Structure 1
Amino acid sequence: MKTCWRHRALIGALVTRQLNARYRGSILGFLWTFLNPIFLMLIYALVFRVYMRFDMDHYPAFVFAGLLPWIWFTTSMSEGTNSLIANGNLITRAMFPPEILPVVAVIANLMNFVFTIPVLLVVFLISGIPFGWQLAWLPVIVAIQCIFTLALTFLFAALNVPFRDVQHLLTNALTFWFFLCPILYPLERVPDILKPVALGNGMGTLVTSYQNIFVHQQGPGIAALFAMLFGSLLLLVLGDAVFRHYRDTFAEYL
């Protein structure tokens, strides 16, 4: 992490480049940052609210509040895991620090998440959901998710270089993980015996925290949130250790 701090200017430049390149050549360009999650929200709302007759107040806003952080997480994981292989020409340069590539993926998608928060607030205004003091928890939840995502991204990015199956396994794991999290359904609908699974998978705690402060107008589960922080810090230590273990072999595999 010290290496990342020393090269923070380079990280900023690469984040800017990635954001500019993401929608280059498309007609709507940066608007897709807002349109993609809106389309997903509308699709899920249509399927669950109209076709499956899922009865819940403010359901589109509920889905949107969980979907945005999930998109940040899953896109960061996918791009970050593949970042070392995709930039093999940089890794093979003796002076280039590979640690910064997973960080760039997470921060670039964090910026997309931040840019979509105003859209989320507009959805709440349209839905008639008021804003309360609970929104003060937002920076805390975002910071914990950032640590959690960085930790996993470091871990999987390092493992993906010698073991290329990791990125394919991750794609399927993320799909399964999505349905484990209470994004499309409220936690109250989960049987008591399965609630530890819904909340104990990391993103489940974070998703419900976002939904609590935005939709339910209540604070997050503080004990669970800070347990998540402690676990994320331990996971970051593990991810950093694994990354440093494989670091000197990256050029050999690439």
Structure 2
Amino acid sequence: MHWRDLLVELVGRDLKIRYQRSAIGLGWSLMKPLSQLIVFATVFSSVLPLNIENYTTFVFAGVLAWSWFSSSLTSATVAVTSNREMVRRPGFPVFLLPVLTIVSQGVHFLLALPLLLICAFIQTGFSGPALLALPAIIAVQFLFTLGLCFIAAAVHVYFRDIEHMIGVAVMLGFYVTPVFYRPLQSDHNFAFLTTANPFAWLLDCYRTVLLDHAFPDAILIVKLLLVSVPLIAFGAWLFRRVSYRFVDEV
């Protein structure tokens, strides 16, 4: 389809512009998750040990998945307002702009994924058939993220404070989601931060595959789909409903 070819062209252009005249180019996309990994692995393994088995793989999976999510959401929020020329171009499929941000950030995720797999192999061995579940988990994360991105991008056109609100929410979300610490037990006073947090469910799926060498709990996958599918349906509906006024608002 035409829009798929256009999406590929836009992703290529976005990556080329971002790393133009850069000595290591796409290599910079690995710097943030790797630097976070080094900090967390050092601090919470040696300085303030959390006593989590195979902690490097544990935290690497969390940081990598969260980085893709957070960078996609913050970029997608301004995807419409920062691309005025495209929005005003007749016939341009505006709905591609939030998708573009997720796919572009997803390239960085996929580039770092082999490092995560190598790390998991060194610490826990080969995950075997359980690795077949990874594409499904990645697809679910894509759907969940896209639903939020559609909503954030649409609302930001009319309410510019949403950019700052998303930034604060992403920062807080990092700390209330078990990215670098183990999920809270059900008897904990703040257990809802794990049990009612879709991203905590997603991280559990990644870690089950990489650390336990098992397929993720089917119940978690169903719960994620029950959240993601309505979210993306509502987000796409909202974005399409208000997009006809984008030209006037941007």
- TM-score normalised per structure 1: 0.92
Which of the residues 73, 85, 99 maps onto 1:103?
Answer: 99
| Counterpart secondary structure, 2:7 | helix
Q: Which amino acid aligns with 2:193?
A: V
Task: Describe the SS at the equivalent of 2:70.
Answer: helix
Paired with 2:17 and 2:198, the residues of 1 have a C-alpha distance of: 30
What residue number does 1:159 align with?
155
Q: CA–CA distance in 2 between the matches of 1:129 and 1:180?
A: 30
Return the letter of the residue paired with 1:211: R
Q: Distance in 2 between matches of 1:171 and 1:214?
A: 30
Shift of the alpha carbon at 1:26?
Answer: 2.4
> How many angstroms apart in 1 are the aligned matches of 2:172 and 2:120?
28
Q: Which among 200, 203, 211 is matched to residue 204 of structure 1?
A: 200
The alpha-carbon distance between structure 1 residues 207 and 121, as it changes in their structure 2 partners (threshold 3 A), is same
Identity of matched residues, %: 29
Equivalent residue for 1:38, pick from 34, 37, 41: 34
The unaligned stretches of length 5 or more in structure 2 are none
Match of 1:84 among 65, 80, 93: 80
Structure 2 residue aligned with 1:20? 16
Give 3-state SS (helix, strand or coil) of 2:78's partner.
Answer: helix
Q: Is residue 211 of structure 2 the alignment partner of residue 215 of structure 1? A: yes
Deviation at 1:23, TM superposition (A): 2.3
- Conserved in 1, the CA contact under 8 Å of 2:148 and 2:231? yes
CA contact (8 A) 1:64 1:120 kept: yes
- Alignment pair present for 1:138 and 2:143: no
Extract unaligned runs of 5+ from structure 1: none
- Structure 1 residue 200: deviation in Å? 2.2
Shift of 1:193: 4.5
* Partner secondary structure for residue 79 of structure 2: helix
Q: Which residue of 1 aligns with 2:121?
A: 125
Number of equivalent positions: 250
Structure 1 window deviating more from structure 2 (37-46 vs 126-135): it is 126-135
Deviation at 1:185, TM superposition (A): 0.9
Structure 2 residue 49 is matched with structure 1 residue 53 = yes
